[in-house]
Structure 1
Amino acid sequence: MKLEHVIPISAPPEVVWAVTEDIERWPEWTPTVNTVKRLDEGRFDVGSTALLKQPGLPEATWRVTTLIPGEQLTWESRIRGMRLIATHQLVATTTGTQSKLSIEMSGLVVRLLWPLIRLSVRRSLQQENMGLKKQCEALHASS
């Protein structure tokens, strides 16, 4: 099962990428993440891992599987019998950046609960993208 949300952001891709890549500060701007802790040091790249606590979910380890600087971050996790693949994709536009968030969920639990969790997952994508937009536009306006 896959959902996505797209939003225009009036800030250049460099600003949006800097906010996206700084995962330990996500709790400052998105209500969909309570805490983030990097589990490794050094450059954030493919193979990097982080422990995330999200509302209503247990802490989970996320591992970066694709990272194209300035364009895309994809990472995955396994939580309560579910496999989650989340992608943050940025595209430059004439007015700033388009942010596309997507989540692909699989596993028996997802198939059973999809009718109950679909709207909640969709709302989380919207909230995260709205928080990203607000944060990036505020940073861009103050620079």
Structure 2
Amino acid sequence: MIHPRKELKSERYIHAAPAAVWQKFTQLHGWPGWYPEVSSVKWLDGDQWREGAHFALTNSQGETYRFVIRMVAPGSATVWESLSPALNAVFTFHCTDQVGGCKVTMGCTYHGIAALTVWLQYGRHQAQVTRPLDALKAHFDRK
């Protein structure tokens, strides 16, 4: 049996302390303020940024997606998974200390049939891990 899978990844160097970047990213309610492609995001249940907690994100096109937190290493990394049957995707965010700032990595791994659509629309899907990092970097560059 074939199990299609496609991984996407993006990295950015941000001139800010890893703790500051982590704090900004983990303030879920603040995402629309620095990332215009998100119109709203809220916790649905569970403790914020704890395994098993659920959140919902509505994008600027009005589409709402639900996610569950799968792993958190406070201050450095988190993993969350889409709960949509049509979008079997696992997202990662990782922040590591670098001289003068930090390196931030965001990834998304698509599984199953969804992975096939990623091959067909690679640019659109790659933007899902590139644009958030560009927006986060721009937020800190303005400071």
Normalising by structure 2, we get a TM-score of 0.86
How high is the sequence identity, in percent, across the aligned residues? Answer: 20
Distance in 2 (alpha carbons) for counterparts of 1:55 and 1:84: 20
1:58–1:79 contact (8 Å) kept in structure 2: no
- Counterpart among 14, 17, 20 of residue 15 in structure 1: 20
Mapping 1:12-91, distance limit 5 Å: 12-40=17-45, 42-55=47-60, 58-91=63-96
Distance in 1 (alpha carbons) for counterparts of 2:131 and 2:109: 17
2:96–2:102 contact (8 Å) kept in structure 1: yes
> Are 2:124 and 1:120 equivalent residues in the alignment?
yes
In the TM superposition, residue 110 of structure 1 has moved relative to its aligned partner by 3.0
In the TM superposition, residue 42 of structure 1 has moved relative to its aligned partner by 4.2
Alignment RMSD, CA only? Answer: 1.8
Q: Kindly provide the CA deviation profile for residues 59-87 of structure 1, in whole angstroms up to 9, marking residues without a partner as x.
A: 12111101001110110013352211000
Unaligned runs of 5+ in 1: none
Q: Kindly provide the CA deviation profile for residues 91-118 of structure 1, in whole angstroms up to 9, marking residues without a partner as x.
A: 000111100000011121432x223321
Distance in 2 (alpha carbons) for counterparts of 1:64 and 1:83: 14
Distance in 2 (alpha carbons) for counterparts of 1:126 and 1:5: 6
